[in-house]
């Protein structure tokens, strides 16, 4: 039976190969795409195995679990929050996460800006966009984001690093491609309206569709399931 460490190392290598191949097809450098390991469903031992092979970008969906797990790992790990964030949990999250992918309203952004100023931190934020228009999803609608942009651009204590989206669940990765292309087009629209707007990061693509996302311009891919294939949970 293969060890946890060898399984995770093999899964990680396989994912990296797929990232490199998607970049090759898109005429991009693999160094332009960063793998964010989503550990929300992983056991602590599995996460430690990832860190031991050099993974430094880890993501959680729930603020409480983010805080608990951050205490278990060295300071060199960069923690990302990829799940919904309530305004009353901003202070705790900012003390741990250097990246927040799920800024889905203007009031949340303004709260993050105010608290970051108080804590003398400068987190990197991604604005979550509901490109697909699904009613169950959080995020700015594209037209809402454009309308709110003057207020968004007024924040001063945080870095708005880019945009994030989640594609609908679909049978094929290609079904998600228009969503990813839509996020890239929105970034280009914002840049045209505001030449000082860089927004270098596009966080899009998960285990089922990250190759399509890379081909459409993703710079951050959020991968969990593919890193932990073949592993079984054990009760304590």
What is the C-alpha to C-alpha distance for residues 215 and 72, in angstroms, rounded to an integer?
35
Domains of the chain, start order? 4-227 (3.20.20.10)
What is the C-alpha to C-alpha distance for residues 199 and 201, in angstroms, rounded to an integer?
6
Coil, helix or strand at residue 92: helix
Average pLDDT in the chain: 94
Q: pLDDT tens digit string along 89-144?
A: 999 999 999 999 999 999 999 999 999 999 999 999 999 999 988 888 899 999 99
Indicate the Cα dihedral angle 5, 62, 159, 15, nearest 10°: 30
Coil, helix or strand at residue 103: strand
Query: In Å, how far from its chain's centre is CA 204?
Result: 7
Bridge partners (DSSP) of residue 125 are 100, 160
What is the C-alpha to C-alpha distance for residues 133 and 139, in angstroms, rounded to an integer?
9
Q: pLDDT tens digit string along 174-224?
A: 889 999 999 999 999 998 888 777 899 999 999 999 999 999 999 999 999
Task: Average the pLDDT over each of 5-9, 61-65, 71-75, 215-219 and give the range with the smallest value.
Answer: 71-75
**Do 111 and 90 meet the contact criterion of CB atoms below 8 Å apart?**
yes
- pTM reported for the whole predicted model: 0.95
pLDDT value, residue 62: 97
What is the C-alpha to C-alpha distance for residues 86 and 93, in angstroms, rounded to an integer?
10
**Do 225 and 190 meet the contact criterion of CB atoms below 8 Å apart?**
no
Looking at the predicted structure, is the pLDDT value of residue 67 above 60? yes
Those residues with Cβ within 8 angstroms of residue 20's Cβ, 6 or more apart along the chain or in another chain: 30
Q: pLDDT band at 236, cuts 50/70/90? A: very low
């Amino acid at each position: 039976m293969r060890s946890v460490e060898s399984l995770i190392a093999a899964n990680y290598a396989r994912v990296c190969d797929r990232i490199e191949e998607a970049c090759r097809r898109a005429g991009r450098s693999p160094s332009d795409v960063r793998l964010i390991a989503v550990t929300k469903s992983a056991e602590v031992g599995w996460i430690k195995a990832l860190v031991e092979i050099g993974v430094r970008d880890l993501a959680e969906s729930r603020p409480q679990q983010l805080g608990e797990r951050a205490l278990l790992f060295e300071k060199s790990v960069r923690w990302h929050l990829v799940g919904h964030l309530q305004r009353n949990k901003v202070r705790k999250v900012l003390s741990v996460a250097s990246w927040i992918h799920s800024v889905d309203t203007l009031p949340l952004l303004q709260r993050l800006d105010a608290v970051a100023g108080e804590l003398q931190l400068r987190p990197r934020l991604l604005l979550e966009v509901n490109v697909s228009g699904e009613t169950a999803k959080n995020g700015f609608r594209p037209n809402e984001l454009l309308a709110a942009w003057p207020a968004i651009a007024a924040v001063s204590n945080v870095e708005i690093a880019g945009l994030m989206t989640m594609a609908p669940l679909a049978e094929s990765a290609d079904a998600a491609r228009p969503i990813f292309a839509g996020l890239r087009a929105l970034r280009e629209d914002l840049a045209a309206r505001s030449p000082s707007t860089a927004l270098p990061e596009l966080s899009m693509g998960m285990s089922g569709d990250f190759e399509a996302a890379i081909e459409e311009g993703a710079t951050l891919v959020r991968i969990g399931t593919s890193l932990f294939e073949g592993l079984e949970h054990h009760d304590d």
